[in-house]
Amino acid sequence: MKNLMAIAIFPDIAPENLARFKEIATEMLESIRNQKSILRYEIFFTMKENSCVVIEEYETPAGVFEHVENHGKYIAELSALGGKIQGSMFPLSLQGKEISEIQENWDSKMHIHFDGKR
């Protein structure tokens, strides 16, 4: 199975929540470094630091499930501080049980890969 890329947006970080949001994100990033299936996990704040975008890449779609299982408490806290996650998934293939699970049960936009081949 091919890589899965994803974007998660925390759309509304109140000024009074920013310091705690960053503390939790720092703790989660330290833990993420131990998960081999995560190839990329980068956090960006808007210039006003009132929202946050996370760019993620996993070896396989199963990696995103491992991430959620391992870091669910952090994700829940970040969502409480920064708003409900607005997610998008970018699989290189729509095949596999994990992709089906995401499509059927997650509140994420699924994007279809286009490689220009016929």
**Complete domains list, the chain, with CATH:** 4-110 (3.30.70.100)
Identify the sign of the CA torsion 68, 71, 72, 78: negative
Q: How confident is the model at residue 115 (pLDDT cuts 50, 70, 90)?
A: confident
pLDDT at 117 over 80: yes
Per-residue pLDDT, averaged over 61-69, amounts to 93
pLDDT at position 51 is 98
> Residues 4, 10, 11, CA angle at the centre, nearest 5°?
125
Name the token pair of 79: 């969502």
pLDDT at position 55 is 98
